[in-house]
């Protein structure tokens, strides 16, 4: 009788895992055939051989690009090189990228940039906020953009217990932003289990110097995020919610 119970439980577990694997493949379109598409107006931007994770474009056409992300389970094209922030002028006929110098005092060797977002102050100063994963942790780095010098001045590192496994960020004001957590677990094998089992344990949080709180939760993997022009509604993937007051 005991063996029968064990075999029954084992069969149920294997059936659940099999069903979850099939559902996971369907969610990720793993079996979809990708057809080639001819895009005559597209051309390769050289200098981003280590990949480009995120882009944020200023009203004047200057674009910031984060590159060189090292993430568990993802291909790594330059394991010995730190990540970089590139600048590209979209007003040029043939845009090229330029790596931005980062001020001394910042740990550039462990720079591992992910999502980025800009904020323009009343005096037209441009601030760049970068999700960083030094040593596979999560922080948000605040930089000031020096346009003439084509450089970034590091101002502050933001840490909080809720800023874990951060994916993307969208800035609303001085040190005020929304951020997404893409995985509940940090261990690679537990992350795989989380994805296969479709555990909806990730969230979107709001950060400010006065308060940090979860504003939306119940997602299988909260990823990219943006905000409406009036800053009253934020959106990540397929949801849109009113900003908290």
Reported as a single tens digit per residue, the pLDDT across 184-224 is: 888 888 888 878 788 888 999 999 999 999 998 888 888 88
Q: What is the Cα–Cα distance from 35 to 186, expressed in whole angstroms?
A: 35
Rg, Å, the chain Cα set: 21
Q: Which residues line the annotated binding site? A: 53-54, 116, 167-168, 223
CB 167 within 8 A of CB 115: yes
Q: Can 154 be counted among the known catalytic residues?
A: no
Question: Which sequence spans correspond to the domains of the chain?
Answer: 44-159
CB 63 within 8 A of CB 90: yes
Active-site residue, from 43, 114, 133, 154? 114
Q: 191 — phi, psi (to 5°)?
A: -65, -40
Least confident of 8-17, 172-181, 230-239: 230-239
78 has pLDDT over 80 = no
Q: Which residues line the annotated binding site for Ca(2+)? A: 53-54, 116, 167-168, 223
Q: 96 — phi, psi (to 5°)?
A: -125, 155
Least confident of 19-28, 61-70, 119-128, 151-160: 19-28
* Residue 51: predicted pLDDT: 84
Q: What percent of the chain has pLDDT over 70?
A: 88
CA atoms within 13 A on the CB side of 28: 12
The larger pLDDT score, comparing residue 91 to residue 245, is at 91
């Amino acid at each position: 009788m005991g063996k029968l119970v064990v075999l029954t439980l084992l069969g149920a577990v294997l059936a659940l895992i099999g069903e979850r694997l099939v559902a996971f493949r369907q969610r990720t379109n793993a079996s979809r055939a990708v057809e080639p598409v001819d895009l005559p107006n597209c051309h390769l931007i050289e200098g981003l051989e280590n990949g480009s994770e995120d882009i944020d474009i200023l009203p004047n056409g200057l674009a910031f690009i984060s590159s060189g992300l090292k993430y568990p389970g993802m291909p790594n094209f330059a394991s010995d090189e730190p990540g970089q922030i590139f600048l590209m002028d979209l007003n040029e006929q043939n845009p090229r990228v330029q790596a931005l110098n980062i001020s001394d005092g910042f740990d550039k060797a462990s720079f591992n940039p992910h999502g980025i977002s800009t904020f323009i102050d009343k005096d037209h100063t441009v601030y760049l906020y970068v999700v960083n994963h030094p040593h596979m942790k999560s922080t948000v780095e605040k930089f000031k953009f020096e346009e003439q010098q084509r450089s970034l001045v590091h101002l502050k590192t933001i840490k909080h217990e809720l800023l874990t496994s951060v994916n993307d960020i969208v800035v609303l004001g001085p040190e005020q932003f929304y951020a997404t957590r893409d995985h509940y677990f940090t261990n690679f094998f537990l992350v795989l289990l989380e994805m296969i089992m479709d555990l909806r344990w990730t969230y979107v949080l709001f950060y400010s110097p006065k308060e940090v709180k979860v504003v939306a939760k119940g997602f299988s993997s909260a990823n990219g995020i943006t905000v409406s022009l009036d800053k009253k509604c934020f959106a990540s993937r397929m949801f849109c919610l009113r900003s908290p007051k």
